[in-house]
Amino acid sequence: MTYREQLKFLLERDAGFSEAVGLLKQLGQRSGLEVGIFSHHDVDGVSSALILHRMFRRLGAKVVIKFPERFKLLEEDLKLIKGKFDLLVISDKGTFASYDDFFEKAENVLIIDHHAPDGNPKKASVFNPAMESHTLAATSLLCHMLATQFGPTDELDDLTALLGCRADFAFDPVEERCGEFVRPFIERSMKKFPHLFKTRLGRPTMYDVVDRRRTALTNQMAEALHVGTLAHYYGEFLNSGVSGPELVFDFLKELPADDLIMIKNLDDFLSMAPAGKTISRILESFQLDWELLEIRVRSPIFLGEIKSVGVYLVFAREVPRMQSTPFAAVLPYVASTQLEPLRRAFGHEATMIMVFCPKENGVQISMRGGGGRIDCSLICAQLVDRLRRLYPGCAGIEGGVHPDAAECFSGKSVPIYAVMRELLLMIKEWSQQEIRADGGGHFAFRVMG
């Protein structure tokens, strides 16, 4: 299927896509259309915001964009933008039923998202290909799909969506893996930007998890953008008041669309727009942080094996400058590089790592891997559920997201020992369940030793 064919198919078969296109067509008729966008603060979220910004500009709309530093959009975040809108877009920030409550802020609410839904919004329009079942995608591609319906997109839209897909693990140019939903777009991109996909020897990036000897330009560029979104934690390189997501947004916005097919290496890319210099300096500092964390994640504790998946625990702190981030910053990415060496060293068919990270503002637990046999998001959701029941008054217990990469965060009001206790108790209970079920394909842990 070509990308064009896929778009035609979606327009006919995907109710969410056709509804979103219909809504935008109708609103596009309005003069003085005012749009507020709240997008995720990561690379995919920033990429989504830029593609939407360019699309709405073509429609003649006035656009305001914010990147609140939390996954779920809350009522209080809406105050970041004054006034009321014709349209409120919530991109890459999950699909929550509570987004139905935001009609006070705007006449229309459009959710564009690729995460497993947490509830089913009834009033808001939702374009999310993962509504029914798990689908590997990225919101920036969904925005690109919408933008194609409103005038021609260009190389800047294409490259931005491609980097959003890479940053969200929807494809891997080195391992040559690609989700089915994004495949038509990725194949189109390979023809357009062939040198971005070439595998080369070189310093491995945070995305080169399996083979730490090789990389590709796409991975290097996406890593630079990821580091850019953390810029406000590298305050020494940044003018005060600018956040990392805003820095990356400005960098991408200034890229010359016509020259993008010429990019041969990371320096080319970063020298194409003013903010690239700052990103490049932060990247050097980030690499030192990465090296520090490599030491901290070196010896994960083996917890047990389930369905031939070796489950490991890393207990470590983030780098000093990231100890207050309310999201997974660097440590879980570094820990992910242990998945493959552990699998090879101990002969598991697959591996999974739980990263237990005490922070200034609470505990961050990140789960990575699972080889498609253990669902990380399910484990995080269960942990969240247990903690909420034990500490009903405590706000800030959140978790879930993807089967192979999930997060759980519990705020400071829940003691660290309690979070660890629940995690270990959960494992123990699952192991007992498996004994009762006589090991018969039950989703459970078997604790060794």
Tell me which residues touch Mn ion (CB under 5 A): 44, 92, 139, 168
Query: Smallest distance, Å, CB 245 to Mn ion?
Result: 13
Beta-carbon contacts of 139 under 8 Å, excluding residues fewer than 6 positions away, are 39, 40, 44, 45, 47, 48, 91, 92, 112, 113, 114, 164, 168
What is the b/e burial string over 175-195, where b = at least 16 CB atoms within 10 angstroms of the residue's CB?
A: eeebbebbbbbbebbeeebee
Using CA atoms, how far apart are residues 66 and 22, in angstroms rounded to an integer? Answer: 25
Angstrom distances, CA of residue 124 to CA of 89, 96, 156, 227:
10, 10, 29, 33
Nearer to Mn ion, 136 or 174 (CB): 136
Residue 333 CB-half CA count within 13 A: 23
Q: Are strands 177-178 and 199-201 parallel, antiparallel or unpaired?
A: unpaired
Nearer to Mn ion, 139 or 153 (CB): 139
Query: Smallest distance, Å, CB 49 to Mn ion?
Result: 12
Query: Smallest distance, Å, CB 399 to Mn ion?
Result: 16
Query: Smallest distance, Å, CB 420 to Mn ion?
Result: 29
Query: Smallest distance, Å, CB 28 to Mn ion?
Result: 25
Using CA atoms, how far apart are residues 322 and 334, in angstroms rounded to an integer? Answer: 14
Query: Smallest distance, Å, CB 44 to Mn ion?
Result: 3
Nearer to Mn ion, 33 or 406 (CB): 406
Residue 113 CB-half CA count within 13 A: 34
Coil vs helix vs strand at 411: strand
Of all residues in the shown chain, the one whose CB is closest to Mn ion is 44
Token duo for residue 348: 């598991």
Nearer to Mn ion, 113 or 305 (CB): 113
Q: Are strands 34-39 and 62-66 parallel, antiparallel or unpaired?
A: parallel
Nearer to Mn ion, 179 or 300 (CB): 179
Query: Smallest distance, Å, CB 116 to Mn ion?
Result: 12
Using CA atoms, how far apart are residues 133 and 344, in angstroms rounded to an integer? Answer: 31
Burial class (CB in 10 A: 0-12, 13-18, 19+), 431: middle
Query: Smallest distance, Å, CB 170 to Mn ion?
Result: 9
Query: Smallest distance, Å, CB 143 to Mn ion?
Result: 11
- Please state, as a whole number, how many other Cβ atoms lie within 10 Å of the Cβ of residue 326: 16
Angstrom distances, CA of residue 56 to CA of 35, 39, 94, 125, 152:
8, 15, 22, 17, 13
Nearer to Mn ion, 71 or 409 (CB): 71
- DSSP letter at 104 equals G
Using CA atoms, how far apart are residues 402 and 375, in angstroms rounded to an integer? Answer: 8
Query: Smallest distance, Å, CB 355 to Mn ion?
Result: 20
Nearer to Mn ion, 44 or 157 (CB): 44
DSSP letter string over 164-190? HHHHTTSEETTTTEE-TTTHHHHHHHH
Nearer to Mn ion, 139 or 351 (CB): 139
